[in-house]
Structure 1
């Protein structure tokens, strides 16, 4: 489930040193667009049409805005063109280049993009500088973690860079209305604690406040338990837990995030039985597709996640330990 920062190939650096990346400096002109972010300032002469998506999930934002990327960065999952089911139809038959593993400088340069979206890509500042020789590069905001830029802020930044701000505001308004309606329909959820955790290979970990999965829970009215909120983690988005003490994740709602095939490992985790969430039937098991939707945390994936989560959460938080949570039963966790 963890995302590893991108690294460039040796061939990429060689290519970058050659004539392939000879570019003209951007000149100030009417209509130019300026973006402040974690690595400085990016300037565009105007809205971009040709876009490469280097962020692990930024293809969703681009597709939602009607911009089909020339290339997409593969994260995980077995889906055509690296695009998950909630966004597939927006490709419209297009087949963007799919970049797996290391980023190829040659590939990016050969596409002659007008914009490189690297929000949530994990690239370093020196890598950003190298890519900026090809085209302007967008990074996460300075006050966000590399993988924790809020979904609406990301959408607005990309929309301004692609001349689709009006569409972005419509999408944001629609999803905010959806969250607002959900909070109104479930007042008993408001102010309760919730955790997204996973267990694999003997290690249990949980996502922190800077992560997209936790942002979705926050939009529904939940918050992290105090013990977990105080913990520090890798890149600000997750933390590993002691195998002898899982108490930091003992929340009103405990959601287990799966990357596929983790149910057996989780069912065998003896320390789960020490948690009140387990004893009182307040666990949800998210399969690979639902986990992916939460992990993307995009304007396209969140509506899919909400459709599936609402009945699950209602069952988990109805106050009756005897109520069966379907996903937990199907995963063999009961």
Structure 2
């Protein structure tokens, strides 16, 4: 699991979209591709074929587009080559180099990429400058925070850099169709409040509108509770709560983003029992795999999350306080 201190990186923090379809800024000068990014401009002489993925979840977008990275930056989870189950089939027999911890410039250089995808990587300006001496570096669109790029915006940017735009549009249409079908199947859920919360290291908090998990709930037609929306986001994507007052996360639907190891800590969280969501059994507990799917928030992981989360939400919002979501009971959140 990840830490929740503001000073810690997203890599450590995040282990525990109602968005605009904004196209990335790109212009062509002759055969060059130019994409504005948060540190300047990415210039490619031609669509990239040999790609290193430094973003914590960008391997998913690349694999979905048919581009198998030659290097992948490990985020978390015990899965081969840093690729989670929803994307393993697309990896095939490839064995990309896995990079852990801080970015190794030497390792990246040894892979001889023609593009380095570093969107949502958290690299510094100095690291960007060094990596740019190896190959063009694609950062997130400057309109968004480091970890706040909507999934479709990011997919389109990577697709343009790799010459796979048509495939990206098909994928976006398919996933948006899944969200539309979900909303149409559950009109009574639309506009109800929902929160993705976490508890780790004695601290409780929630993910805010700039985060993939909150964006996922918005795509399903839920809204954030007013008290939570009024709070200040830390680093643009999360907030922390006072241990004496968890009421900002008291929503019609409370989704705990956690891991199996943290379930006991949530079960022992005394003030959780003051929440109506707890009293009425309107909580969903995400095990590590489902929490990972929501945390990745990718074109590949979100369909997985939809398939596994829909019956959990249905049980939580069935109007029967005696009904407890099976995964919540299995995790020990209810005795």
Q: TM-score, normalised by structure 1?
A: 0.91
Corresponding position of 1:148: 148
Corresponding position of 1:208: 208
Whether 1:4 and 2:15 are equivalent positions in the alignment is no
In structure 2, the residue corresponding to 1:196 is in which secondary structure? strand
Whether 1:104 and 2:113 are equivalent positions in the alignment is no
Whether 1:83 and 2:88 are equivalent positions in the alignment is no
Deviations 1:4-32 (A, max 9, x none): 268xxxxxxxxxxxxxxxxxxxxx96221
Give the whole-Å Cα distance in 1 for the aligned partners of 2:261 and 2:222: 27
Check conservation: 2:33, 2:46, Cα contact below 8 A: yes
Give the whole-Å Cα distance in 2 for the aligned partners of 1:233 and 1:259: 23
In structure 1, the residue corresponding to 2:245 is in which secondary structure? coil
Q: Which 4+ residue blocks in structure 1 deviate beyond 4 angstroms? A: none
Corresponding position of 1:58: 58
Check conservation: 2:282, 2:324, Cα contact below 8 A: no
In structure 1, the residue corresponding to 2:205 is in which secondary structure? strand
In structure 1, the residue corresponding to 2:34 is in which secondary structure? strand
Give the whole-Å Cα distance in 1 for the aligned partners of 2:181 and 2:322: 28
Check conservation: 1:5, 1:123, Cα contact below 8 A: no
Spell out the pairing of 1:162-177 with structure 2 (5 A cutoff). Answer: 162-177=162-177
In structure 2, the residue corresponding to 1:254 is in which secondary structure? strand
Corresponding position of 1:223: 223
Gaps of 5+ in 2: 12-27
Spell out the pairing of 1:257-268 with structure 2 (5 A cutoff). Answer: 257-268=257-268
Give the whole-Å Cα distance in 2 for the aligned partners of 1:144 and 1:230: 20
Corresponding position of 1:331: 331
Give the whole-Å Cα distance in 2 for the aligned partners of 1:232 and 1:109: 40
Spell out the pairing of 1:107-256 with structure 2 (5 A cutoff). Answer: 107-256=107-256
Check conservation: 2:258, 2:291, Cα contact below 8 A: yes
In structure 1, the residue corresponding to 2:147 is in which secondary structure? coil
In the alignment of these two chains, the number of paired residues is 313
Check conservation: 1:190, 1:221, Cα contact below 8 A: yes
RMSD: 1.3
Q: TM-score, normalised by structure 2?
A: 0.91
Give the whole-Å Cα distance in 2 for the aligned partners of 1:294 and 1:314: 18
Check conservation: 1:42, 1:138, Cα contact below 8 A: yes
